Amino acid sequence: MSISETAIKNHEELWPNYKSRAMQTDPELIELFDNFAFDEVISYGNLDTKTRVMMILGSTIACQAQGEFKMMVNAALNVGVTPVEIKEILYQSVPYVGISKVVDFIYLTNEIFTERGIALPIEGQSTTTPETRYEKGLKVQKEIFGETVDKMYEKSPKNQLHIQKYLSANCFGDYYTRKGLNIKTRELLTLSMLVALGGTEPQIKGHIQGNINVGNDKETLLSVMTQLLPYVGYPRTLNAIKCLNEVIPE
């Protein structure tokens, strides 16, 4: 096999001394994938290893890729992502992917943590109460999206206003206000999950602007989309890049 030294080095950083079963059964595929994902793609962009792994980890939840998720949880721990950060990635995915798709990944994570001697439950990160979640969530929502939030409320039909309130109190109040990850990282993760889900172009455009508003520039967003490519495929990546160029033209 002719896997490049760079690909071997980058793979080894994530999974030291890992012996791939697929290398025995599908060596040509592993050669193609590893040279692409761990050499060619990794060489592009401005993401550090920890951020790159966190974004890929979030995408595997949205893709429902349990095997790759387990690999990435271990990789994340190996490169310094904390147990709190991993749990927060999982929790952040709930309002975007849905609990029915996330719960199995929580159990998988708990199994890995137990195997690695990480005590459960992980320290709580909530900063809101039932009385403050709406107010604090709306504040964070406006910090990210500005006057767009007021327009969403104004344009919402009365029989759908509850959805806007859910967004403020639940999506942002219950999740974005948590400790463990900063807002810039949460917005990058949300974008990664939306790209991986597919068919979410309106939300992708909204969160591209949200990312820009919190300080993630176009180079960073393009770097994230590029690093997701080997894991989510070309169609979803190209759709996301099209959205990126529409929101932030070259």
* 3-state secondary structure labels for all residues of 77-128: HHCCCCHHHHHHHHHHHHHHHCHHHHHHHHHHHHHHHHHCCCCCCCCCCCCC
Q: Which residues contact 223 (CB under 8 A, 6 or more apart)?
A: 44, 45, 46, 47
Residue 70 in any domain: the answer is no
Q: Is residue 150 part of a domain?
A: yes
Report the predicted TM-score, pTM, of the whole model to 2 decimal places. 0.96
Token pair, residue 125, equals 């990160």
Q: What span, in angstroms and rounded, lies between the C-alpha atoms of 6 and 43?
A: 9
Per-residue pLDDT tens digits for 113-132: 999 999 999 999 999 999 99
DSSP state of 16: T
- In a domain, residue 89? The reply is no
Residue 49 falls inside a structural domain:
no
138 is a domain residue: yes
Nearest Cα to 171, choosing from 131, 137, 127? Answer: 137
Domain that holds residue 133: 126-177
Number of domains in the chain: 1
Say if 99 falls within a structural domain. Answer: no
Q: What's the average model confidence in pLDDT over 153-157?
A: 96
Asked if the structure places residue 222 within a domain, the reply is no
- Lowest pLDDT segment from 13-27, 139-153, 210-224: 13-27
Confidence of residue 20 (pLDDT cuts 50, 70, 90): confident
> Is residue 175 very low, low, confident or very high in pLDDT (cuts 50, 70, 90)?
very high
Q: What is the pLDDT of residue 1?
A: 66
Question: Considering the domain boundaries, does residue 160 fall inside one?
Answer: yes
